[in-house]
Chain A
Amino acid sequence: MNRLFLALVLPASLLLSGCPDSSTGIDDQGASVSDFDWHMPDWVPLPVEPDYNPITEAKFQLGRYLFYDTDLSSDGSMSCESCHQQDKAFTDGVARPTGVTGMIHPRNSQSIANAAWVRTLTWGNPTLTDIEQQIVIPLFGIDPVEMGVNEANQDLVLSRLQRKTEYQTLFAEAFPDQSDPMYDEQAWQNIIHALASFVRGMTSFGSNYDLYTAGQSDALSTSAKRGMNLFNSEKLECFHCHEGYTLTASVRDRRRTPNIPAPFFNTGLYNIDGISAYPEPNTGKHELTGKTSDMGLFRPQSLRNIALTAPYNHDGSTATLREVILNYAAGGRNITSGPNTGDGRMNINKDPFIVSFTITEQEIEDVVAFLESLTDYEFINNPRYANPWQPPKDQDLTP
Chain B
Amino acid sequence: MRATFLAIAGISMVVSGCGGSSSSSSTGGGDDINPDVSISIPFNATLGNDAFECGKEYPGIGSNGGNIAVAHDARLFIHNVRFVTNDDREIPMVLDGDDNGEATAQQKPGEGIEGIALLDLRDKGEGCTSDDANPDYNDSVTGTAAIANENIKALRFSVGVPAKYNHIDAQGNQPQLDRETGEPIAGTVAEGPLAASGMGAGGMHWSWAMGYVHARIEVEVPSADAGIFYVHLGSTECDGEASYAERVCANGNRPEVELNDFNPELHGINVNLAALLSGNDITVNQGGPAGCMSGLTDLDCIGIFERLELPFPDADMTGDYPAVFSTFELQ
Contacts and interface: CB of A to CB of B under 8 A. Distances in A.
Interface of A: 50-53, 122, 125-130, 132-134, 136-137, 139-143, 149-154, 185, 187-189, 192, 280-281, 287-291
A52 B207 contact: no
Given A52-B174, A289-B239, A136 B207 contact: yes
B241 A127 contact: yes
A185 B172 CA distance: 13
B199 A185 contact: yes
Interface stretch (B41-49, B111-119, B122-130): B122-130
Contacts of B250: 290
Nearest to B227: A101
A132 B126 CA distance: 24
B57 interface: no
B243 A152 contact: no
B171 A137 contact: no
Nearest to B204: A151
A137 B237 CA distance: 20
Interface residues of B, number: 40
B247 A149 contact: no
Nearest to B239: A289
A391 B128 CA distance: 41
Given A133-B207, A151-B127, A126 B239 contact: yes
Contacts of B210: 127-128, 133
A157 B241 CA distance: 33
Determine the main DSSP class of B at the interface with A.
loop
B201 A154 contact: yes
Nearest to B198: A136
6 contacts: A50-B174, A133-B169, A139-B201, A187-B200, A189-B171, A280-B288
Given A133-B169, A280-B288, A152 B174 contact: no
Nearest to B291: A143
Given A127-B242, A149-B201, A152-B126, A132 B287 contact: no
B241 A129 contact: yes
Interface in B221-252: 230, 236-243, 247, 250-251
Contacts of B167: 127
Nearest to A140: B201
A147 to B, nearest CB: 10
B258 to A, nearest CB: 28
B241 A189 contact: no
A52 B297 CA distance: 37
Nearest to A53: B173
B169 A51 contact: no
Interface in B35-93: none
Contacts of B125: 152
Interface in B93-124: none
Nearest to A259: B179
B289 interface: yes
Given A140-B201, A280-B297, A290-B296, A125 B208 contact: yes
Contact of B173 (A52, A188, A289): A52
Given A136-B207, A291-B239, A150 B296 contact: no
